[in-house]
Chains A and B, each alone.
Chain A
Amino acid sequence: MNILSQIGRNWSRFGLLLIIVAFWMFFSLVSNAFLSEFNLFTMLRISSVMVVIGYAQMVALSAGEMNLAVGAIGGLMTMFLGGLMEAAGIPTIPAILICLVVAALVGMANGLLVVGTGINSFVITLATSSVFTGIMYITTKGEAFNLLPADFVAFGKMRLFGLPISPLIVVMLITTILLYFLYRNTALGREILAVGANRGAARMSGVNSSRVLIIVHTLSGFLAGLAAVMMTAMLASAVPATGTDWMLPSFVAPALGGTLTSGGNVAVIGTMLGGLLVGSLNSGILMLDISNFWLQFFMGVILLLTIGLDRLRAIHAERAIVQ
């Protein structure tokens, strides 16, 4: 039984990889431009951002929570960063750091509200997403920042070693490694999963569940902020519409990766592949010259199929045990 479940877990990763490769092959057949240097570069960049967005939600899901404010935080942080760099003239690196710290604090606010009020994270983050978006528009009047510092813009456009590899990918990979080891080898990571699987039992085993939840929301906010920084670099401008379409990918990537929405379970690599798939789809649909709006359609269908298959697998596993 154990071996089967291990195969099952790895299968979803290999399966995902296969699907991504299959998509790439399909798209490249349809359009030679797909595997062009430019498209690979763009696709890998957007995928990196999608992955980090997925991570922002993944950490919440792993603790049995959800963060509906991922997009709102993304938008708010994008504009905050733009404001810091363009309006306040703060140099790039300090601006990024300040932005990340504030993003974490915003996430912490969510966590404090959830723990302090005992109301579930769905309602809290739904409300705060509205608050954050409101603050964002009030302070920026919906005007984008297009004149970002040259070094920041260059960073976004950079290619490493002459290959279509953006430093954004490096950021994403570093984040992946850190998250991977967080869950695999740290006390906090274990506690998050315990709280996600059974909060009561975790508490009765000496885990400080309140602290864990606050940390998780802080982390989620931080990652949303990181995604915002990456997006801003990629677009070379801070656009208020950032984040408005983050909600779906933030769930699709973890779902594809196998992070069950029931908490206590996490698949970092899987989420990464999930984000890559979303980014590839995005790119491919553009190539196909179909209306880019069909991307939404496909993502919705994929999400349903993935969760559906996941459930089927779970039901089968249960049946096997009972027999």
Chain B
Amino acid sequence: MTKSPFYKRLINVDWAGLLLLVILSVILMSVISPAFLSTYNKYVVLRDVAVTLLVGLSQLVVLAIGQMNLSLGTIGGLSVVISGGLMEAWNVPVPLAVLIGLLVGALCGLLNGEIIVRTGINSFIVTIATSSVFLGINYGMTQAVPFYNLTPGFKAFGQARWDFFPYIAVVTIIVTIIMAIFFLRTIPGRQILAVGGNVVASETSGVPVNRTIVMAHIISGVIAAIAGILLMARLGQAQPTIGQNWLVPSFAAPIIGGVALSGGSVSIMGTVLAAFLIAIIQDALVLLNADPYYVQFLLGILILAAVGVDRLTRQRRQFE
């Protein structure tokens, strides 16, 4: 019987190095700072990973199709303020408010996708522009003032945990698994990768390219919305500024995780590990009482290192 490709593809040599890096950093940190392995600290790291990973996945799905989404941060922010606003201002029950928030994310993604497909303008410009549009709507509505009175149950969920395991991480795990299955086994997921890998071949094989592009953007928007809402739950407030600093991490996680920037190849596992690495670094800086601003700096260096290494290994392969 043929082996399941799912299993085979998950065992991808590419992220082995990253796994090693994560393990090493964990060992290193536990040695340097005993607080690293404390329950609270593990909780903090996982809490960060929960959001960072989703941010990375939001960008990943668009990178898979060979495009980019620079508006995912502001989509997150907009979903948050609408969702939170509904909860506070009109006492909308949490599930409905969350659902509407996701819908906002989907609509923003739909807008992105439609503009890209109909005008043929590249995703970079379109999403830079829509990013502003979404931010404008966000701030225009909220005047940059957060909603503080969210439904208590919601806030509780955001801050609850089993020992070191944050409740919100459950959402992330579910989304991650869904995305993994999506890309590995479902038709629309494979179509996204096909278009990203070779749009001409996809088109001649009957893949509905335009529809696939729009779908990728919609999914990106929804995941960004989920990330925002989780963050809102954790913070206990609907802050309009949510998402403002997501741009770099949204690329960092997939890039360090080994995505092909030209599209067509994703590594969910790589993105997961990268999200962990980023969160661990952030955490380490806090524990070491180092300047928290080092995060920005290190993220940039990490990205450069990741693409540099990728370049080198690719060049080496060419000569083999």
Q: Is A in direct contact with B (CB under 8 Å) within the complex? A: yes
A residues with CB within 8 A of B? 66, 113, 117-120, 122-124, 126-135, 137-138, 141-142, 247-248, 251, 255, 261, 290-291, 293-301, 303-304, 307-308, 311
Task: Output the nearest chain B residue to A244 by Cβ-Cβ distance.
Answer: B244
16 contacts between A and B (CB under 8 A): A117-B308, A118-B311, A119-B308, A123-B303, A127-B299, A130-B252, A131-B297, A134-B294, A134-B300, A137-B293, A141-B291, A142-B293, A255-B125, A293-B140, A296-B133, A300-B129
B residues with CB within 8 A of A? 115, 119-122, 124-126, 128-140, 143-144, 247-248, 251-252, 255, 261, 291, 293-301, 303-304, 307-308, 311
CB <8 Å contact, A129 and B248: yes
The A-B contact count (CB < 8 A) is: 136
> Which chain B positions have C-beta within 8 A of A298?
136
Nearest-Cβ distance from residue B287 to partner chain A, whole angstroms: 17
A132 to B136, CA, bound (A): 27
* Selected contact of B133 from candidates A124, A138, A261, A301, CB within 8 Å: A301
Task: Output the nearest chain B residue to A250 by Cβ-Cβ distance.
Answer: B128
A308 to B75, CA, bound (A): 22
> Which chain A positions have C-beta within 8 A of B132?
248, 296-297, 299-300, 303
Task: Output the nearest chain A residue to B131 by Cβ-Cβ distance.
Answer: A300
Task: Output the nearest chain A residue to B293 by Cβ-Cβ distance.
Answer: A137
> Which chain B positions have C-beta within 8 A of A255?
125
* Selected contact of B255 from candidates A117, A120, A123, A142, CB within 8 Å: A123
* Residue from A113, A130, A311 having most chain B Cβ neighbours under 10 A: A130
Nearest-Cβ distance from residue B274 to partner chain A, whole angstroms: 14
> Which chain B positions have C-beta within 8 A of A113?
304
* Selected contact of A304 from candidates B115, B144, B296, B300, CB within 8 Å: B115
A160 to B297, CA, bound (A): 42
- Interface SS majority for chain A: helix
CB <8 Å contact, B135 and A296: yes
> Which chain B positions have C-beta within 8 A of A134?
293-300
* Selected contact of B128 from candidates A124, A247, A297, A311, CB within 8 Å: A247
Task: Output the nearest chain A residue to B119 by Cβ-Cβ distance.
Answer: A308
> Which chain B positions have C-beta within 8 A of A135?
297
CB <8 Å contact, B307 and A123: yes
CB <8 Å contact, B294 and A301: no
CB <8 Å contact, A127 and B303: yes
CB <8 Å contact, B129 and A301: yes
A241 to B135, CA, bound (A): 17
Task: Output the nearest chain A residue to B303 by Cβ-Cβ distance.
Answer: A127
A129 to B249, CA, bound (A): 12
Given A120-B261, A300-B134, 16 more A-B residue pairs with CB atoms under 8 Å apart are A117-B311, A118-B311, A122-B124, A123-B255, A127-B299, A127-B303, A130-B297, A134-B294, A137-B296, A138-B294, A248-B128, A261-B124, A291-B143, A294-B136, A297-B135, A300-B133
CB <8 Å contact, A311 and B121: yes
Nearest-Cβ distance from residue A264 to partner chain B, whole angstroms: 16
A304 to B308, CA, bound (A): 34
CB <8 Å contact, B136 and A300: yes
Given contacts A131-B297, A291-B143, contact A304 B129 (CB under 8 A): yes
CB <8 Å contact, A303 and B136: no
CB <8 Å contact, B248 and A126: yes
> Which chain B positions have C-beta within 8 A of A248?
128-129, 131-132
CB <8 Å contact, A307 and B121: yes
